[in-house]
Amino acid sequence: MKRNYARVLLAAMMAVSLLGTTGCGGGDKEAETSADTASEDSGGEGARKFEGTTLYMIAEQQKPTEALQKQLDAFTEETGITVDLEMAPYDNVIQKETLAFESKSGAYDIIAAPYQFLGNLVENEYIQPLSTFMEDESLSIIEDYDETDIIENLWNASGEWEGELYGVPSNSCIDMLAYRKDLFENEEERAAFKEEYGYELTVPEDWDTYRDVAEFFTREKGETLAGEKLKTNFYGVSMCGKRHDATTCEWLNYAWSFGGGVFDDEGNLNINSAESVEALEYFCDLAQFAPEGIASKTWDEQTTEMQQGIAAMSVLFNDNYAALEDPDSSTIVGKVGYTTVPVKEKEVAHYGGWGFYIPTDSKNPEAAWVFMQWFNTPEVQKNIALDGGFPNLQSCYEDEELKEIPYWEGSQKAYEISTTRPRIAEWPKMDEILMLQLSNAVTGESTPQEALDQAAKEFEELLGEKLPIQYQ
């Protein structure tokens, strides 16, 4: 299993190209980050080969995508290629892409899709490998690209499948813990916590402490929080429990950390192992410290609850963090700390990234490849990062200007311990099964044991002789 194949292909591609760059940089001239800078730093024969072409692209409506949209004029100026970027909510993106694939409409030249769908996309021949484009020197627009700059686990997760590269990371989001640092630093709250629990109030590093802190900060309207009388209820955590991928994503942080998950290291199912069940029991118990109605909530509602200042903590993808620091929409700007999720048996951080892929029926695949190269230049990656995105290049996490972003240091640590969902072709169906059973447990329709036993039963029926899974 060639887990470093992305690097091998990138090295082959970059060796014959035309642009010199050295990374995001850390100061003075290297810190220039305007769209004009990105436009000046790449180009060549491949760059203008498709002048007049329009690329049709779809991606999730998120801060990183909005940041990319602001850079597209620079791409057009540099290449003559126009990008028609369609943005939609998560569920709508998946629906639109599925319809386009099944109808063979050729509606899109580039799609953004969650990496866990990669096996399904490849098996159904919905997307094409990038090797043909990488081997064509006339399409290359980048010279002296530092192949060691890539964060290999992100590229492998989002792009590599069974020794072939099919995509590049587009939004490298990862789950972390967002917490109200102003409350953790408040002396009255610290004294009250120690009196009640017998130890110091600190940012939770383990799940037992996480529950204690969630319980402690849960208050009713009229009670006092940090010296002020509450006008509304306040909650220790914000969570999601809807029949939605968001619930799968959040719960997997708990499950993996507890020692459970979906498959074990040998590829056998462990979705209903004692560790997985314990993690779901914990998850359901924790819900009592969250705002009511979590069975109807996803990461969107979690973000809003944090912005409104009604919750102390949330396990949440970091591509939502720019919204927490946006003074136009958030009441907690400058009051939030960001770190990795608590630990039980092992450190984990659920990688939730997306990738850019070229559909098999794309009308302009070569021009799409030119876009992918441009997107992965350090200058473009940095520009997007400054506006709420997450780059896939190590140099950007070492950049002095980017280090000023409040969630930057925590994000870098999270990427080092990133853990990925299965990417097998059956995963979309498995996820549908799992999100239903998790939601059933949250609402009390099933016990955690019953819910995960049912998930295991349906997984076994779906996977059959493919078990144990040899490639994830």
Q: What are the DSSP calls for 342-368, one per residue?
A: PBSSS--EEB--EEEE-BTT-S-HHHH
**Is there a domain that residue 346 lies in?**
yes
Share of the chain above pLDDT 90, in %: 83
Model confidence pLDDT, tens digit, residues 199-239: 999 999 999 999 999 999 999 999 999 999 999 999 999 99
pLDDT in tens, 5-30: 344 445 544 433 333 344 576 544 33
Residue 153 is predicted with a pLDDT of 86
443 within some domain: no
Claim to verify: residue 306 and residue 403 sit in the same structural domain: no
Number of domains the chain is built from: 2
Alpha-carbon distance of 397 to 390, in angstroms, equals: 9
Query: Among the three residues 323, 350, 377, which one is the final residue of a domain in this structure?
Result: 350
Query: Does 238 share its domain with 379?
Result: no
Give residue 319's Cα distance to chain centre. 7
Q: Do 77 and 196 lie in a common domain? A: no
CATH number of the domain where residue 372 is located: 3.40.190.10
pTM: 0.89
CA 234 to chain centre: 27
450 within a domain of the structure (yes/no) = no
DSSP 388-405: T---SBHHHHT-TTGGGS
pLDDT tens-digit series, residues 152-210:
888 899 999 998 999 999 999 999 999 999 999 999 999 999 999 999 999 999 999 99
Residue 425 lies in a domain: no
Which of residues 386, 404, 419 is at a domain's end? 419
Q: What is the pLDDT of residue 472?
A: 76
User: Which of 294, 329, 350 is the last residue in one of the domains?
Assistant: 350
Residue 89 lies in a domain: yes
Name the nearest CA neighbour of 459 among 202, 270, 281: 270
Average pLDDT over residues 92-101: 97
What mean pLDDT is reported for the chain? 91
- Whether residues 403 and 306 share a domain: the answer is no
Is 108 a member of any domain? yes
The reply to whether omega before 468 is within 30° of 0 (cis) is yes
Domain range for 284 is: 175-350
Q: How many CB atoms lie within 10 A of CB 328?
A: 6
Question: In the Cβ-directed half-sphere of 126, how many Cα atoms lie within 13 Å?
Answer: 26
